[in-house]
Amino acid sequence: MNKPIGIFDSGIGGLTVVKQLRRFLPEEQLIYFGDTARIPYGTRSRKLVQQYAKEDARFLLQFDIKMLVVACNTASSYAIPLLKDMLDIPVVGVVAPGARAAVDITQNRRIGVIGTTATINSEAYVQEISHLMPEARVFGQPCPLLVSLVEEGWINDQVTVLTLQKYLQPLLKEEVDTLILGCTHYPVLEETIRRVIGTGIRLIDSGKETARVVRKVLEEKHLLNRSRGRAEDRFYVSDSPDKFKKVGSRFLGQTLDKVETVDFEAFLVGLNAAQFSE
Ligand code: DGL
């Protein structure tokens, strides 16, 4: 089916998921919305994240998308059931695919999860893993400083290594054999994390697992784009595109030339007016 896939995140981080979607689904057009005006989501309450997620989804629905991918771990942790109820297209978040991959790979059934404070507090990964493997022990560790360090470009910096050592120490003590990178930004730190934890622990990139699941869902529902050629991906942000372009190119591994800024406030006013008159 020749319709785009909609994908949203709180900002730039979701581009790590775009990178994987492009790898697994090179024939599909992606329409990305990064809510750069309201980032971070990872420090917000459940209620606010749910509201933002609904609004982000409504923005993407304007493009007649055939599927919604929630790239943001925080939004996936709080809003997937709600979005599934709200929409009549398939909705895929990053938590369930990451949890599934961890369960498939762990040997000692001791799984670590790192993410934003909201993601860890939500216990979304714990619930998903417990559902798949009730005997598994899950150890969550919020790592709120990592988002800023990655956006600053301090990938191999000593400050980042020390921060990772401090955050990961409790998980190493628990002898986890699998570690879920439960935040959009963390795949960028994969090598640095590896330096800190050594070679014995398996790392799960939730974004990569999500791209596999998206492909599978599209196949099962006969929604893959079979037509020749594909329209260009489109990127929208709710605040100035400058940082998004600069930092985003690093996340995506490719330059980002065309990024459009949306007047999201005006969009929300229109949305509320339309709902009021219904
Ligand atoms: N995209 C968010 C996540 O994956 C990280 C950035 C934020 O806190 O908004 O949880």
- State whether 132 and 178 are in the same domain: yes
For residues 155, 159, 163 and 166, what is the CA-based torsion angle, rounded to 10 degrees?
130
143 flagged as catalytic: no
Residue 133 half-sphere exposure toward CB, CA atoms < 13 A: 21
42 C-beta closer than 6 A to ligand 1:
yes
- State whether 20 and 71 are in the same domain: yes
DSSP letter, residue 197:
H
Are 199 and 179 a contacting pair, CB within 8 Å?
no
Task: List the beta strands (DSSP E) in 94-231.
Answer: 110-115, 137-142, 178-182, 202-205
Radius of gyration of the chain (CA): 18
207 C-beta closer than 6 A to ligand 1:
no
- State whether 79 and 216 are in the same domain: yes
* Helix, strand, coil content of the chain in percent (nearest 5): 50, 15, 35
Pairing of β 260-261 and β 178-182? unpaired
d(C-alpha 253, C-alpha 83), whole Å = 30
140 C-beta closer than 6 A to ligand 1:
no
210 C-beta closer than 6 A to ligand 1:
no
- State whether 81 and 216 are in the same domain: yes
Among 179, 206, 233, the domain-final residue is 206
Residues in the chain: 278
**Residue pLDDT, tens place only, 25-57:** 999 999 999 999 999 999 999 999 999 999 999
- State whether 116 and 181 are in the same domain: yes
For residue 255, how far is its CA from the centre of ligand 1 (angstroms)?
22
Among 168, 186, 206, the domain-final residue is 206
Which residue has the CA at smallest separation from atom 2 of ligand 1? Answer: 72
Are 114 and 163 a contacting pair, CB within 8 Å?
no
For residue 42, how far is its CA from the centre of ligand 1 (angstroms)?
5
Q: Which of 8, 20, 116, 125 to mutate to test the pocket of ligand 1 (most atoms within 8 A of CB)?
A: 116
Among 206, 231, 263, the domain-final residue is 206
**Residue pLDDT, tens place only, 130-140:** 999 999 999 99
73 C-beta closer than 6 A to ligand 1:
yes
pTM more than 0.85: yes
Atom of ligand 1 nearest to the CA of 182: 4
9 C-beta closer than 6 A to ligand 1:
yes
- State whether 223 and 199 are in the same domain: no
- State whether 117 and 195 are in the same domain: yes
- State whether 72 and 131 are in the same domain: no
- State whether 84 and 106 are in the same domain: no
- At 276, is the pLDDT very low, low, confident or very high (cuts 50, 70, 90)? low
- State whether 89 and 102 are in the same domain: no
Are 37 and 236 a contacting pair, CB within 8 Å?
no
**Residue pLDDT, tens place only, 88-109:** 999 999 999 999 999 999 999 9
Instruction: Provide the domain limits for residue 231.
Output: 5-93+209-277
**Residue pLDDT, tens place only, 145-199:** 999 999 999 999 999 999 999 999 999 999 999 999 999 999 999 999 999 999 9
CATH of the domain at 166: 3.40.50.1860
- State whether 48 and 130 are in the same domain: no
For residue 183, how far is its CA from the centre of ligand 1 (angstroms)?
6
Number of domains in the chain: 2
- State whether 216 and 88 are in the same domain: yes
Atom of ligand 1 nearest to the CA of 39: 9
Full strand arrangement of the beta sheet holding 178-182: 137-142, 110-115, 178-182, 202-205
